[in-house]
Amino acid sequence: MAPVAAAARVRIYRIRARYQGRRLPWRVMEVRGDMSVAAFDRYLRTVFLYERPGRRSAFLREEAALYTLDPAGPEPAATVADLFRDPPDRLAWVFDLEHPEHHRLMLTAVHLPERTRTYPAVVRQNAPEYRTCACGVTPATWFCDTCGREQGMLVPLCDDCRRRDHAGHEVSRIVY
């Protein structure tokens, strides 16, 4: 157990996250300052529904990598409190260095924990704007990353079209 003095110093980091170049979706999350950078990376992977295991990711400040996370390698000793400067502070988070998905993170506030809350948690998020699959089924639940990279645009799919027309393609769950 952490000593009382250390626990008393815990601060909560309020962070807004979204994909680079897309208005939606966005999430506001609150995480403990003493959460490890590796655990924060894993949390972001769940928030953005990434299911590709073993992929490397990175936190960057102005294009320069601060920490690279490799699920198969050693974890950096740094925490969320080491990652950010005072609010407002902006970082980038890139998931999957092989096929990068760029995200923007903004630290908006640092405050004391609230007794009734558990951390980490998503505390606010956008109202969903559902995407339609080309076949007309609403909502689409997947993006085809393979076709998306070929076409240079997002390719939303329903479950049926994914199975029928995109077998073997790399797909990602759509985050609404």
Q: Does 153 bind Zn ion (CB under 5 A)?
A: no
Quote the least distance from Cβ 130 to Zn ion, whole Å.
13
Distance of alpha carbon 21 from its chain centroid, rounded? 14
Out of 161, 172, 174, 175, point to the residue binding Zn ion (CB under 5 A): 161
Rounded to whole angstroms, the Cα distance separating 4 from 107 reads 26
| C-alpha torsion angle, residues 118, 89, 28, 174 (rounded to 10) | -120
Out of 122, 135, 150, 153, point to the residue binding Zn ion (CB under 5 A): 135
Q: Does 174 bind Zn ion (CB under 5 A)?
A: no
117/163 with CB nearer Zn ion? 163
Rounded to whole angstroms, the Cα distance separating 13 from 87 reads 9
Which phi and psi (to 5°) does residue 47 adopt? Answer: -60, -40
Quote the least distance from Cβ 50 to Zn ion, whole Å.
18
Out of 104, 137, 139, 141, point to the residue binding Zn ion (CB under 5 A): 137
- Beta-carbon contacts of 122 under 8 Å, excluding residues fewer than 6 positions away, are 27, 28, 29, 47
161/174 with CB nearer Zn ion? 161
43/143 with CB nearer Zn ion? 143
DSSP 8-state code for residue 116? T
Out of 147, 154, 170, 176, point to the residue binding Zn ion (CB under 5 A): 147
79/172 with CB nearer Zn ion? 172
Rounded to whole angstroms, the Cα distance separating 74 from 107 reads 26
Residues 120, 36 contacting (CB under 8 angstroms): no
Out of 61, 126, 169, 170, point to the residue binding Zn ion (CB under 5 A): 169
11/169 with CB nearer Zn ion? 169
* Contacts to Zn ion by CB under 5 A: 133, 135, 137, 144, 146-147, 158, 161, 166, 169
